[in-house]
Amino acid sequence: MYAEVQTVERLTPSMVRIVLHNGDLENFDASTATDSYINARFVPQGSPLVVPFEADDLEALDPEHRPRPRRFTVRRWDNERRELTIDFVAHGDAGYAGTWAQRATPGDRLQFSGPSGSYRPSNETDWHLLVGDESALPAIAASIESLSAGAIASVFVVVDGPEHELPLRSNAEVSVTWLHRNSSVAPETLLAEAVANAEFPAGTFDVFVHGEAGEVRAVRKHLLADRNVDAAAASISPYWRRTYTDEAWREVKRDWMSEQARDIAAA
């Protein structure tokens, strides 16, 4: 399916919000998951490919002209207006998706499949722990917006600096801790240390931890080793890996996940 850019808004120096409309959004089958995501296909600059395209159209293309798949969270779906909001991290001139978002203008088209997704704050726990970076902010924001008054959540988000923080809205009682990468602590340990030093609310909690692979891994290790979190019941996974393109990351991700699974045994 595909959709057209309706509006482009710079939310922070590192975040571009794009609202999509038209195209095939009439058939968009929204998910109830608050981390639901689309798998978008970014057409490289200079490619003759025109959106919407069919799988057959790709066969004749040089590899460098083929679309690059990238996953992006459904920040908001407006069912009545059939509008899909995606918040893209703008991370310089590298990458297909980030640069597409920074250059996007109304009428541009984006082809994608989905949505898929699996996390939604549990109704069974006393509170919710959500941890991540800019790339996980759309899912964290959607998750806490879904909470009712009386629910409790603790949120930890690492961004580059105060100007990269976003207002987070919720009817629940949410404590938000913003961390800034320009501190003296290595990014891999910044989030984990903040979570480790936090006094958790009483009772049972569910867990959502997503973002940069090294940062996620350090938080995961702490939660499993020191907070008795059950890995099988937690939503923890790396969205991207610093210095790796998505293609390069997907090539090594399986080995990374196997290594990560051994972290606790090795601790």
Q: Is 184 in the site for ligand FAD (CB under 6 A)?
A: no
Q: Least distance (Å) from ligand FAD to the CB of residue 229?
A: 20
Footprint (CB under 6 A) of ligand FAD, residues 126-145? 134-135, 138
Are 87 and 16 in contact, with CB atoms under 8 Å apart? yes
The distance from CA 232 to its chain's CA centroid, rounded to whole angstroms, is 20
Q: SS3 for 101-127, per residue? A: HHHCCCCCEEEEEEEECCCCCCCCCCE
Footprint (CB under 6 A) of ligand FAD, residues 207-236? none
Q: Which is nearer to ligand FAD, 83 or 134 (CB)?
A: 134
Pick from 126, 116, 163, 131: which is nearest to 147 by CA? 126
Question: Rg of the Cα trace of the chain?
Answer: 19
Q: For residues 23 and 1, what is the distance between their CA atoms, to the nearest angstrom?
A: 8
Q: Which is nearer to ligand FAD, 127 or 136 (CB)?
A: 136
Residue 122 pairs with which residues in a beta bridge?
A: none
Site string for ligand FAD, 43-82 (x = CB under 6 A): ---------------------------xxxx---------
- Stretch binding ligand FAD (CB under 6 A), from 1-9, 88-96, 120-128, 226-234: 88-96
Among 123, 243, 258, 266, binds ligand FAD (CB under 6 A): 243
Which residues have CB under 8 Å from 249's CB, separation 6+? 213, 240, 241
Q: Is 239 in the site for ligand FAD (CB under 6 A)?
A: yes
* Phi and psi torsions of 173, nearest 5°: -90, 100
Q: Is 97 in the site for ligand FAD (CB under 6 A)?
A: yes
Q: Which is nearer to ligand FAD, 127 or 179 (CB)?
A: 179
Q: Is 96 in the site for ligand FAD (CB under 6 A)?
A: yes
Q: For residues 43 and 159, what is the distance between their CA atoms, to the nearest angstrom?
A: 28
Q: Which is nearer to ligand FAD, 81 or 242 (CB)?
A: 242
Preceding peptide of 52 cis, ω within 30°: yes
Q: Is 12 in the site for ligand FAD (CB under 6 A)?
A: no
Position of minimal CB gap to ligand FAD:
95
Q: For residues 17 and 12, what is the distance between their CA atoms, to the nearest angstrom?
A: 9
Q: Least distance (Å) from ligand FAD to the CB of residue 121?
A: 17
Residue 112 pairs with which residues in a beta bridge?
A: 40
Q: Is 6 in the site for ligand FAD (CB under 6 A)?
A: no
Binding stretches for ligand FAD (CB under 6 A): 37, 70-73, 87-89, 91, 94-98, 134-135, 138, 239-246
